Chains A and B, each alone.
Chain A
């Protein structure tokens, strides 16, 4: 099984430690991983803003870099969801192998690798941030709106971490208000949503907020700092790989 690691642009630029955790964790699990050079962005930011055409060349480039892998794994649910749900349309007329192969790393570990554990050690109380695109596009957990049997793949994986206590905030999958271009176009609502979300996470008594999407974490971290709220942020992968 050949795994291609996709580290989306903003993770590359802002959260290299999350990329490192992905690499270490996948290698620790004995997987053959490659990080193809020259990768950049999936095109989601432009497309969500209404400029899908600007995403097309990036989709072509992505397809070039990643088509040969069995799985394409990334630590960012919204990027993965974008590739999976839109690339076939964006690449219309060209072959598209990547849409079917792209997986969020939580999803990949949970559904494909199925580690029996134990994984890392993280003796802290963490509040789980169920990112919208993970919940409602990739199916990482049962959406709070739907009457289906409850499940949460992130929680399942975190249960393999030693010493951790995982809680969820009230309104467990309400949006944090990032939304890509939304955060610069609807600044007031975005900041308010971020603040509301942070308060609910903090009310759990957790020391850290963890989630499967660095973008949500980046947004909340920025709001927290502006508002002087004290809580830590870790991508799920950093916790799974802690101490490995």
Chain B
């Protein structure tokens, strides 16, 4: 009955001490978020508004996209439209090669991860330097992000320290103090900022009425990436466009509070124009499935996501299985859902990673019905041909037993016989319940038999 997620989760949990640290670390972020949420009396109102704004915007996305493009172009930005990942990569490469760019400094963008842009550009001779510290660490380590906001949190400071020694970034061997390591990364990245010919950013928001691209960072790396090179390319998913500044205020207030438990990110930067007269500002609007997902009646609201990552932090399964247990590059509750939208055949193995506890949808700043959506995906696995056969058999059996009173009565009446089965037979590996549990003791009489006595007692 195992799934791709459950197999990797089991391996993750083998290192108990590490698993405990992982759980405590992300629960710590959840706690910080709670402090922020409980510090604002209007918190639930903000969530409600944020959800309603997104529902409105996504259901009028055609209008807002056009408005955004008109205003961005009026500002002097060059707007591109990419139907899919391949087209996106081609457009970016075209811009870069047209400017003879050899090196790009890049701030965090899950969209470029989604489109696998870095390897595409690198294959064509363009060096891509990630400048968010976490992203830089996993880039140097040759890994993928394990979390969308804290991509390298799965690594200990010793692992980062050893990596920096190996890459020649730190020179005091054995000094793995995070402050020292951060300082060494600063020096190393400073050099990259000064020598790159282009800067790339994602976009947390695009503002339809003004044409702004808004990027939120703590490190200032998006600003550094775009303050030196003359060429700036912003990669923006279609769903990032919002109507105006009044809407932006709502999301700005929710994003950092939800994501990291901060009152704001250090920088909330608005880009409207090229940096200088001989520079260029390109905005690539990327579809890559989004326009079709809008048509999915059960799952279109996944497009409301602002990528704060809090559903991962609160998810009891994510905290106890880690980002790499999921097959999609975005893990946790939102990742289960986006993975299924992307390719259900490939990512059905994540759908088991949910107890339906609904903490995710209770925490989500834009109120995506994340848990309810997982429930709905499970109903569709048979259609995708990815349902578990043994699970189906179990459900068939249950359904038959529960569907007939006589079969049900026989089963519940005889359940106590299981109590006398040899321990080894019950805990034999064919009974998955027994992996983590001792078997329950079944009573001699189920309630419906006991009830006959109760009724007599009542009449007396």
Residues of chain A having any CB pair with chain B under 8 Å: 7, 9, 11-20, 23, 27, 35, 37-41, 43, 45-52, 54-55, 57-58, 61, 132-133, 136-137, 143-148, 171, 173-175, 177-194, 196, 218-219, 221-223, 225-226
Contact = CB atoms under 8 A, between A and B. Distances in A.
Interface string B365-385: 000000000010011111000
Contact of A52 (B19, B379, B450): B379
Interface string B403-424: 1010010011001000000000
A190 to B, nearest CB: 6
9 contacts: A12-B448, A16-B447, A57-B399, A146-B362, A171-B27, A175-B359, A185-B6, A189-B317, A193-B316
A191 B432 CA distance: 11
B140 interface: no
Nearest to A23: B454
Interface stretch (B34-42, B151-159, B289-297): B34-42
Contacts of B438: 222, 225-226
A40 B402 contact: yes
B154 to A, nearest CB: 16
A148 to B, nearest CB: 6
A241 to B, nearest CB: 13
A180 B41 CA distance: 36
Nearest to B39: A147
B2 interface: yes
A232 to B, nearest CB: 14
B412 A41 contact: no
Contacts of A181: 391, 394
A11 B34 contact: no
B405 A38 contact: yes
Chain A interface SS verdict (over half): helix
B139 interface: no
B356 A48 contact: yes
B320 interface: yes
Interface stretch (B60-68, B230-238, B337-345, B347-355): B347-355
B359 to A, nearest CB: 6
B233 to A, nearest CB: 37
Contacts of B379: 47, 50-52
A187 B44 contact: no
Interface string B217-249: 000000000000000000000000000000000
Contacts of A146: 37, 44, 362
Contacts of B436: 183, 187-188, 190-191, 194, 222-223, 226
A48 B415 CA distance: 24
A7 B447 contact: yes
A58 B440 contact: no
A48 B375 contact: yes
A46 B398 CA distance: 8
Interface in B381-403: 381-382, 387-388, 391-392, 394-396, 398-399, 401-403
B298 to A, nearest CB: 12
Given A40-B408, A177-B316, A187 B6 contact: yes
Contacts of A226: 436-438
Given A187-B6, A188-B9, A188-B13, A132 B450 contact: no
A181 to B, nearest CB: 6
Contacts of B435: 187-188, 191
Contacts of B6: 185-189
A16 to B, nearest CB: 4
Determine which residue in B13, B415, B447 has the highest number of CB atoms from chain A within 10 A of its CB, and name it. B447
Nearest to B2: A185
A204 to B, nearest CB: 18
Given A187-B10, A188-B9, A226-B438, A12 B355 contact: no
A186 B411 CA distance: 26
A166 to B, nearest CB: 22
Interface in B4-63: 5-6, 9-10, 13, 19, 23, 27, 34, 37-38, 40-41, 43-44
Interface residues of B, number: 77
> Which 3 pairs, one residue from A and one from B, show the smallest C-beta to C-beta distance?
A191-B436, A222-B437, A179-B355
A54 B393 CA distance: 11
Contact of B9 (A9, A145, A189): A189
A27 B460 CA distance: 14
Determine which residue in A38, A147, A223 has the highest number of CB atoms from chain B within 10 A of its CB, and name it. A147
Contact of B23 (A57, A136, A173, A196): A196
Given A13-B415, A188-B13, A225-B437, A50 B354 contact: no
A179 B23 CA distance: 19
Contacts of B37: 145-147
Contact of B359 (A145, A177, A178, A182): A145
A54 B44 CA distance: 37
B375 to A, nearest CB: 7
B180 interface: no
B415 to A, nearest CB: 5
Contacts of B183: none
A213 B65 CA distance: 48
B93 interface: no
A145 B394 CA distance: 35
Contacts of A187: 6, 10, 432, 435-436
A178 B3 contact: no
Determine which residue in A39, A193, A194 has the highest number of CB atoms from chain B within 10 A of its CB, and name it. A193
B2 to A, nearest CB: 7
B357 interface: yes
Given A13-B446, A41-B398, A222-B437, A186 B391 contact: no
Given A49-B378, A145-B314, A222-B440, A182 B44 contact: no
A110 to B, nearest CB: 21
B267 interface: no
A188 B432 CA distance: 10
A62 to B, nearest CB: 10
Contacts of B173: none
A221 B440 contact: yes
Contacts of B2: 185
B458 interface: yes
